[in-house]
Amino acid sequence: MTAFELNDARRIPAVGFGTYQLRPGRITKSAVSGALAAGYRHIDTATIYGNEQDVGAAIRESGIAREDIWVTTKLWNGDHGDPLKALETSLTKLGLDHVDLWLMHWPTAQRLKSWDTMVRARDERLATSIGVSNFLVPHLTELAQHSEVTPAVDQIELSPFLLGTRADTVRYCRDRGIAIEAYSPLTQGARLRHPVLVRIADGLGVSTAQVLLRWCLQHGFITLPRSSNPDRIRANLELDGFALSPADMRELDDLDEGLTTGWDPSTAS
């Protein structure tokens, strides 16, 4: 599986399995088990998803060695009063002694103080890598002025339909070695029938979802597709047998329409 190197020298599997909106209990456990069986070795969860316990159970029952699975969780907005306690709760639910990546889910007002605590958690090996999510250039610039520790990752929404709008954040991260994780890479389904995508996908004999995921990899973005359907879980990992041409990439890059499918961090001051 393709992996990208982070600025802390760790290697992260470039395709992670997203678990947002996977209902806690049987649905999450079966989806994550299916993903691990299909070959995913990177699971993206968060405190707010309410499914860390099921993610942990699926990991344990998979029999795959802990060090072979990359696990990400996130500090929720309501937990900035005591971030370490929140991480310990996440670890208990996951049944793990550390996560591979702990992200600040959103740039809340307490973000700088919380970042310092996240650095301590990394130093104590409770999280091997630390990063942020939904940080745009103003938030990243402020953080760089505050702390000597650069986030390993910024997880932001990204698809061809948002790339132009986020171009400054992408450039900022590239210039400073911050890896970008593209969340909602399938636009939560909203643009999977876009005519340009359909034409490119048909020409390559793949699905429009595979085109969107391959677009991420060719840009060097870690990508986090989510599915609860076993066939789609497998297909979303089959990205090595085809390539987008430079012309395909340019055409996709031009599809920007400022599409955010969930929250929009440009509203976070």
Ligand X SMILES: NC(=O)c1ccc[n+]([C@@H]2O[C@H](COP(=O)([O-])OP(=O)(O)OC[C@H]3O[C@@H](n4cnc5c(N)ncnc54)[C@H](OP(=O)(O)O)[C@@H]3O)[C@@H](O)[C@H]2O)c1
Contact residues: ligand X, CB under 6 A: 18-21, 44, 105, 133-134, 155, 183-189, 192, 207, 209, 224-229, 232, 235-236, 262
> Which residue among 40, 49, 172, 183 is the active-site one?
49
Measured from the CB atom, the residue of 91 and 206 that comes closer to ligand X is 206
Other Cβ atoms within 10 Å of 253 Cβ, number: 14
Cα separation, 240 vs 225, whole angstroms: 16
Smallest distance, Å, CB 182 to ligand X? 8
- The CB-of-227 to ligand X minimum distance in angstroms stands at 3
Considering beta carbons, is residue 13 or 225 the nearer one to ligand X? 225
Strand partners, 153: 179
Side chain identity at residue 246, one-letter code: P
Beta strand 17-18 with 11-13: parallel, antiparallel or unpaired? unpaired
CB of 157 to ligand X, least distance (A): 6
- Cβ of residue 17: shortest distance to ligand X, in angstroms? 8
Asked whether the beta carbons of 72 and 103 are under 8 A apart, the reply is yes
Residue 18 or residue 56: which is nearer to ligand X going by CB?
Answer: 18
Q: Residue number with the shortest CB distance to ligand X?
A: 18
Q: What would the DSSP string read from start to end of 144-186?
A: HHH-SPPPSEEEEE--TTTTTTTHHHHHHHHHHTPEEEEESTT
Taking the C-alpha atoms of residue 83 and residue 145, their distance in angstroms, rounded to an integer, is 21
20 is an active site residue:
no
**Which residue, 45 or 117, has its beta carbon nearer to ligand X?**
45
Q: Which residues are catalytic?
A: 49
